Amino acid sequence: MGEVYKIVVTGPFNSGKTTFISAISEIEVVSTEKLTRSSSGGKDLTTVAMDFGRITLPDGYVIHLYGTPGQDRFDFMWEILSEGMLGYVVLLDGTQPSSFEEGRRFIETFGSMSDAPFVVGLTRADSRHSAAAESVEVELDAQERFEVVACDARSVKDVKDVLIRLLELVVERTEVEERAG
């Protein structure tokens, strides 16, 4: 096995984190989902510790994907999971404008823990009720430079596109640091 790199997938409750990791992982995703009551009174599964998946790239590099819990009551896991990450993906449900405010909080929180590059994955972007990527960038109004990539968290191709964009940002940052160093 080659070098191992860590990418964290985070975002609000029900934004598609487990689905995103499951779509691309070459192993069965290790998930810590538990049955819980949602705020609407229904029962849902929610991640209470983390999800874990793995991707082996053609050049032998290995990417470990760690999905965070999306609910505040499990936020103590965020810092633990962020340690040593190469970059992170913040998933937001494009059909839920309320998730954009939460998204800003995820960006600020993870940005305070690490200066790793990140992208925002806009899930359910294929819905006619979804916000456009450009409007989400404006809505988030984060201090850091970032990019919003529309995706279907169930689609291997879309998940690859999000991860490739993140890895491009990692490479760009590395090249800038090497030139400066």
Residue 37 domain boundaries: 4-180
Q: So what's the pLDDT on residue 136? A: 73
Average pLDDT of every residue of the chain: 84
Q: pLDDT tens across 74-110, in order? A: 677 788 888 899 999 999 998 988 888 888 889 989 9
The tally of domains found in the chain comes to 1
- Which of 37-46, 121-130, 152-161 has maximum average pLDDT? 152-161
Task: Copy the structure tokens of residue 153.
Answer: 């968290």
Q: Order of strands across the sheet with 87-93?
A: 30-37, 43-56, 62-67, 4-10, 87-93, 118-123, 148-151
Q: So what's the pLDDT on residue 43? A: 41
| pLDDT greater than 60 at residue 38 | no
Give the pLDDT mean for 27-47. 61
Give the pLDDT mean for 20-32. 89
DSSP one-letter string for 98-159: HHHHHHHHHHHHHHHH----EEEEEETTTSTTPPPHHHHHHHH--SS---EEEE-TT-HHHH
CATH number of 162's domain:
3.40.50.300
Q: So what's the pLDDT on residue 5? A: 94
Decide if 60 contacts 1 (C-beta within 8 A). yes
Q: pLDDT tens across 41-73, in order? A: 444 655 445 789 999 988 889 999 999 986 666
